[in-house]
Structure 1
């Protein structure tokens, strides 16, 4: 549920927020003891992607590639391929400032993938995304996992989780309530129903809303 600690957890995993205790290790690299090496093998798509507004889509991806140490020609080539895969090729020369929410999400995903990370972190990847863009993102994530990479993301979209995840954890108030394969956590129900059963309903005080829905005289 909202406020459970998903974004906080992802921020600690990706070296943005120092944990109070414990260690975070990715491919044998301690995120906080060796942050440069650890961050070199990961890609991150935050919930609110902050991109350079005055750059075009292709310039943003090329810039991300150059920041990751790719030669200019390689960064340009990979950017073009990713824009095509993300259905952004027709808008490659438009300024990011003119991009919709879905287009921004896809551009941010391209920036996170351009250096071919071993592990990809996404925070609410389909939040505010239209169905067509969501399908593009879903297919790209499935392809990435099929290539041997690891994708870890937080989401309230249970349909997405059921379609692409092989392992699920339900978090509430900073604690893991259930973890295992998707089928294990579902327990023969839909994932959404399993989630509701685990977390419990949060609506309170409906009986006090006697005025809601009534016509006024």
Structure 2
């Protein structure tokens, strides 16, 4: 493992009102790692990411990015970060060219450089013909590709991805998985949050499982598999979170659907 620490959380806790969302989370992430950050809905995954991005304050503990305590107010670390949120509001009246050039300039790229780079990256997704079209005309998958490009345009050292494959077709998913592997091989660090377990299992070299605001598992897929009886990450996830009622719930759900069915 690379000894260059990229980020660390030290006894980080966060509450919203009376609800404790994070409970003394400790985590260290190193250069070149792809962290699969998983957990049930409401476990605190998005809150963790937003804390590290500096989008949420009022937490206890310590968050360090690139060795700097982010609570001290120095936001220069953000120039080295890329982010794809789970849901994002794009400026849909802009063309892809205008939007991506704007994003590049926010990260201090020269306008011409940003536009040229954006076009070349769009071209890799076979979207060059749509480069000057308004984002409002784009499909969900096309918009997602634009978001991914915007997060990488400035060549960040640390990438936060929250459900980045939403709306993408199978071929695009394969491309993104390969891109992430190559970025990690070049020393980029990727913090990947998703509910798609088979993708997390395949692309992550380390998996962190968060339940009720606490880390209950942390290791490679092989390590987690060795510690648990189940085989796939989805099965391990269910075992560790104590969720075993999926078959029973599915059976009851289908039974309700069939009540008074026109086929009876």
Structure 2 length-normalised TM: 0.75
Instruction: Please give the alpha-carbon distance, in whole angstroms, between the structure 2 residues aligned to 1:203 and 1:90.
Output: 48
Deviation of 1:81 after TM superposition, in Å, equals 2.1
Deviation of 1:34 after TM superposition, in Å, equals 3.6
Question: Per-residue displacement from partner, 1:165-196 (whole Å, max 9, x unpaired)?
Answer: 10001111111110011211233721111111
Instruction: Please give the alpha-carbon distance, in whole angstroms, between the structure 1 residues aligned to 2:147 and 2:252.
Output: 44
Which of 197, 202, 205 is the equivalent residue of 1:163? 202
Question: Per-residue displacement from partner, 1:69-121 (whole Å, max 9, x unpaired)?
Answer: 11122112211222123332232122111111111111111111111110000
Runs of 4 or more off by more than 3 Å in structure 1? 202-212, 214-217
Instruction: Please give the alpha-carbon distance, in whole angstroms, between the structure 2 residues aligned to 1:79 and 1:8.
Output: 30
Q: Is residue 213 of structure 1 aligned with residue 252 of structure 2?
A: no
Deviation of 1:23 after TM superposition, in Å, equals 1.5
Relative contact order, higher structure (CA 8 A, sep 6+): 2
Kept in 2: contact 1:58–1:83 (CA 8 A): no
Instruction: Please give the alpha-carbon distance, in whole angstroms, between the structure 2 residues aligned to 1:213 and 1:112.
Output: 45
Instruction: Please give the alpha-carbon distance, in whole angstroms, between the structure 2 residues aligned to 1:102 and 1:11.
Output: 24
Kept in 1: contact 2:135–2:143 (CA 8 A): yes
Which segments of 5 or more consecutive residues in structure 2 lack a partner in the other structure?
1-39
Deviation of 1:35 after TM superposition, in Å, equals 4.0
* Equivalent residue, structure 1, for 2:65: 26
Structure 1 length-normalised TM: 0.90
Deviation of 1:198 after TM superposition, in Å, equals 0.5
| Count of equivalent residues | 217
